[in-house]
Amino acid sequence: MEIILAKSAGFCFGVKRAVDLAYSKAGQGEIYTYGPIIHNKEVTGDLDKKGVHVIDDLDDIKEGEIIIRSHGVPPEVYGAIEDRGLKYTDCTCPFVKKIHNIVHENHNKGKSIIIIGNKDHPEIIGINGWCDNSALIINSVEEAKSAVLSKDKEYALVVQTTFQTDIFDEIIALLMQKHGNIEVFRTICSATGDRQSEAVEIAKNADVMIVLGDKSSSNTRKLYDICKKYCENVYLCERICDLELQNFKKNGTIGITAGASTPSVIIKEAVKAMSEMENKSFEEMLDGSLVTLRTGQIVKGKVIRVSETGEVAVDLGYKSDGIIARSEFSEDINEDPAESVKPGDEIEVFVIRVNDGEGNVQLSKKRVDADKNYVAIEEAAENGTTIMAKVVEQVKGGLIANANGVRVFVPSSQISNRYVEDLSVFIGQELEFDILEFDKSKRRIVVGRKALAQKEIDAKKAEVFASIKAGDKINGKVSRIVDFGAFVDLGGVDGLIHISEMSWGRVRKVSDVLSVGDDVVVTVLEVNPEKGKISLSLKDLNADPWKNAGEKYAIGTVVTGKVVRMVSFGAFVELEEGVDGLVHISQIAYKHVEKPEDELEIGQEIQAKVTELDLENKKISLSIKETLERPARPAKEAPAEEAPAVEEAPAVEEEAPAVEEAPAVEEAPVEEEAPAVEEAAEEAPAEEEAPEEE
């Protein structure tokens, strides 16, 4: 008896991923699968015993975690899960998810959708939901013949991933005769095509074909139908024990294949049963076939040891061990193999070379990791979703990041929303990225986080603006120094301390008070979300020297102060820290003063009288001359020898009042305009205030 076992028999990638996840979740609380995780009663029954239950209606549960099976679901199911506040893990097969995207995109473009497949199959139900359940569904050549297509419509056509390839080609030919404007997407899974092709070749050479799998499984039934075309004796069974093997001819050829929902344990069980018939261990033959290695193969093995240099030895069940070089372990050059795996761990590896010249099998782990995650990244690119990646090295023009074993490029202009001078600060960080470019043919992936960084900043801004108000005291760190003040990071948002708010006294330079990196406690003066501005103060508002200024500097009070600044119109005098008064140039002395510097010096202590007090605008007008004794006016002497002048005395006396009022004519206009000048003086420093741009 000769047994031919299909190499592609058993779980496909999508089913295996979903089943593995279900088993990993078992025992972790209330776990449910939305519909059977797999069309195999052996597996679903075992999972149910382990606490992973099947539900068909979300109303049946109130809490727990949902696993969405590989067949996928309509969009409304996601919404219903989220509305109920349930956690879920999406195990939709990447190939099925791709069909969802094709259907959704073309439906939004106004095209009519045609789906080739069984309308009652959960995969087709899920796909149809992505075009609002409006698709024309065709499952056979007969249905294609009777289908009516509108000449006025454009069509997009997809096919169930497990559909029979030859029947699909017949249906396409018929539909194209009816309507020439159909865009066809060949979405039959490559694994399905390989399994069906292999079944054809085995069936052609077998006396008996055994198709293992659940009878409710669509792809298993299709395998059965295919084999029936080429072999007279075909048996569909869920387990080998369902057959009476003793009736088989021992000198014949038996072919075995299995659907995508058939666990490997059932396949091994079938081979073992046949080995007992022949009194020959076909199980050993199967095991031997599993360890026949070839370049490019992906196999499982157990870690034997990890050397000090990071080389990993793997037992493959082959005549010699496999070796993973440090450079082939991970795309992350900083990952230590000794920390990631230990002896006894089972890992998947890629066979680079069966014999490396020293009798060892040269392996790669990072290539397996990359292949596994490449599909997920492609799906993210199609869906417009983000990926996580760890920055591992700096290169010309940007950075290289590792997205679960897949190398992606980050341009320097896309790492942040602002210019970054030193890109090396990102090395070692795991960050979220948008996919900017995905070129499958060149395996080139470009990612960035410029838009994400801006979103993060906007979110932080909104949080900060919502949590603070005027009068709050908050902690911050000085992030930037400018001429007019200092910017303080308040946790994602910068606020400004204007130089005038750094002290009650006069501050000449910001750097005299603060440095970048200083931790400060500031008082919020104003919050303006519309302009995105927050005004801050370093001053102790309770120590405002102007609080008692009305008593200390009442009009008429003589005060002592120090000259701190000269301007063309007068001198500013510091009365105490934070309180200055202005001595207008006309109030420095009784005589005419050209420049304040002619009479006063910086640092000079003087006495002056308060002439005006404006508490609202924090202005004090001072007069030095009013503290001084007014000089006596010298008497006029008449000419001694000019008699005519004496005779004209009456005329002189008539003009005398005008002569005596002359001093008032010189001084009065200045004194009357003094307040206006003082106001100008006080307004002048406003030119130093912060520009509106900040």
Catalytic residues: 123
User: What is the 3-class SS of 239-307, one letter each residue?
Assistant: CHHHCCHHHCCCCCEEEEEECCCCCHHHHHHHHHHHHHHHCCCHHHHHHHHHCCCCCCCEEEEEEEEEC
Q: Which of 539, 65, 6 lies closest to 267, judged by CA?
A: 6
C-alpha span between 179 and 197 (Å, rounded): 30
Pairing relation of β-strands 52-55 and 31-34? parallel
C-alpha span between 391 and 401 (Å, rounded): 4
User: What is the 3-class SS of 181-248, one letter each residue?
Assistant: CEEECCCCCHHHHHHHHHHHHHHHHCCEEEEECCCCCHHHHHHHHHHHHHCCEEEEECCHHHCCHHHC
C-alpha span between 567 and 572 (Å, rounded): 8
Tokens coding 525: 């003066």
Cα–Cα distances in angstroms (integers) from residue 43 to residues 22, 23, 256, 288, 415, in the given order: 10, 10, 20, 26, 46
| Sequence-separated (6 or more) residues with CB below 8 Å from residue 365 | 312, 324, 328, 329, 330, 347, 348, 349, 350
Q: Which of 165, 98, 96 lies closest to 126, judged by CA?
A: 96
Q: What is the DSSP letter of 360?
A: P
Tokens coding 48: 């149910």
Residues in the chain: 694
Q: Tell me the residue ranges of DSSP E strands in 84-217.
A: 87-90, 112-116, 136-138, 155-159, 182-184, 208-212
Classify burial at 228, counting beta carbons within 10 Å of its beta carbon; exposed 0-12, middle 13-18, buried 19 or more: middle
**Cα dihedral 510→512→517→519 (10° resolution):** -100
Q: Which residues on adjacent β-strands are paired with residue 482? A: 485
Tokens coding 627: 């503290």
